[in-house]
Structure formats: structure tokens, C-alpha cells
């Protein structure tokens, strides 16, 4: 079972995400959370997918596109660092990614299908990562981070935004 990362394995700004992940088997948590995401977003109508709880905030569709894009970026980082690649990895501008996704033009069901495919790919990546790779260290967004920290951040990031959808949008 993958162990929770120590706080010195990732930047402080990721603490809220890592702290959301409950104790237990991370793969089980990822699979259970996939079902929770499916249930949540299937309950939202296409019209409500464009809802913004406040002017200037992302719509529900844009939040789901952001969750998906961030999971892709984190999975890429997990792969590179997990494989021992020491090349510094760039950060990304989440607002630019959301704008570039043009999520408002896509059906909510299509964005959800994209998340499902992305999460399933993350799960298989984590399932197949060698035990020796979890403590690998690399540089992402100009900060040192371990492979296992990335796996927890990826998990907690989705949970964070799912909580926001529930609390502020619905």
C-alpha cells in the first residue's frame, strides 16, 4: 500500500489537497472517488453545467475541465518523476487552460467522459508504478516533489473541487 507522503515531500501550497485524502488504500480511494464524481456530475443538468455561483468564477463545466486538465498534468509529472527523469517540469496556468478548453461549448456529458478516461489512466499508472519509484524526487513548477506526493495531490485536488461544487454551486 502506498504510504502518505511526509510534508517535506511537496510544497506547502499542496497541504490542503493532501490533507483531504483519507487514510487507506489510495487506489481504492481513487476508484471510489471516480464513482462519486460520476454520480455528482450525472445529477447536474446541461443547463446547470453553465452555472457560475458568482460573476467571474468558473462554471460547473469549467471546473470539471480544470479537474481533468490538472489530473493530466499531475499524471504526467508522476510518470516522469516516477521513471527517474530529473528534467525540471514546467508549471501551468490553470486559467489559461480553462479558457483554452472552451468547456462552455462542450456537453457536460462529454467533459465527464473525458474525466472518466483520464482518471482510469491515472489509476492504471499508479497501479503499475514500481514500489521503488514512490520516493523518487524531481522538480515540478520550480519545487521539489516526490512521486507519491503527486499521487496524493492528484487525489486531493479532485476532492477539493468536488467539495466546492457541492458547497457553492449546488
Write down the pLDDT at residue 1: 73
Question: What is the DSSP code string of 101-145?
Answer: HTGGGS-HHHHHHHHHHHHHHHHHHHHTS-GGGTT-EEEETTEEE
The tens digit of pLDDT for each residue in 103-117 reads 999 999 999 999 999
Write down the pLDDT at residue 140: 98
Average pLDDT rounded to a whole number, residues 115-128: 98
Tally Cβ neighbours within 10 Å of residue 103. 25
| Annotated domain spans of the chain | 26-47+59-169
Write down the pLDDT at residue 60: 98
pTM of the predicted protein model: 0.97
DSSP letter at 39 equals H
CB 83 within 8 A of CB 123: no
Query: And the C-alpha cell for 49?
Result: 453545467
Average pLDDT rounded to a whole number, residues 45-61: 97
Write down the pLDDT at residue 33: 98
Topology of 26-47+59-169 in CATH?
1.20.120
Distance from the Cα of residue 45 to its chain's centroid? 23
Q: Rounded to whole angstroms, how far apart are CA atoms 154 and 146?
A: 12
CB 59 within 8 A of CB 51: yes
Tally Cβ neighbours within 10 Å of residue 9. 20
Average pLDDT rounded to a whole number, residues 85-99: 97
What is the share, in percent, of the chain residues with pLDDT greater than 90?
Answer: 99
Amino acid at each position: 500500500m502506498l504510504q502518505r507522503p511526509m510534508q517535506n515531500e511537496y510544497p506547502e501550497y499542496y497541504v490542503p489537497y493532501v490533507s483531504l485524502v483519507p487514510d487507506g488504500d489510495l487506489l481504492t480511494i481513487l476508484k471510489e472517488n471516480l464513482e462519486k464524481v460520476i454520480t455528482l456530475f450525472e445529477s447536474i443538468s446541461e443547463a446547470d453545467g453553465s452555472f457560475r455561483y458568482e460573476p467571474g468564477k468558473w462554471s460547473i463545466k469549467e471546473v470539471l475541465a480544470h479537474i481533468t486538465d490538472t489530473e493530466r498534468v499531475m499524471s504526467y509529472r508522476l510518470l516522469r518523476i516516477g521513471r527517474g527523469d530529473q528534467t525540471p517540469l514546467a508549471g501551468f496556468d490553470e486559467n489559461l487552460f480553462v479558457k483554452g478548453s472552451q468547456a462552455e461549448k462542450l456537453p457536460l456529458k462529454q467533459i465527464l467522459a473525458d474525466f472518466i478516461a483520464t482518471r482510469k489512466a491515472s489509476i492504471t499508472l499508479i497501479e503499475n508504478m514500481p514500489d521503488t519509484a514512490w520516493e523518487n524526487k524531481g522538480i515540478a513548477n520550480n519545487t521539489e516533489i516526490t512521486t507519491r506526493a503527486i499521487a496524493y495531490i492528484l487525489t486531493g485536488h479532485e476532492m477539493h473541487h468536488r467539495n466546492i461544487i457541492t458547497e457553492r454551486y449546488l
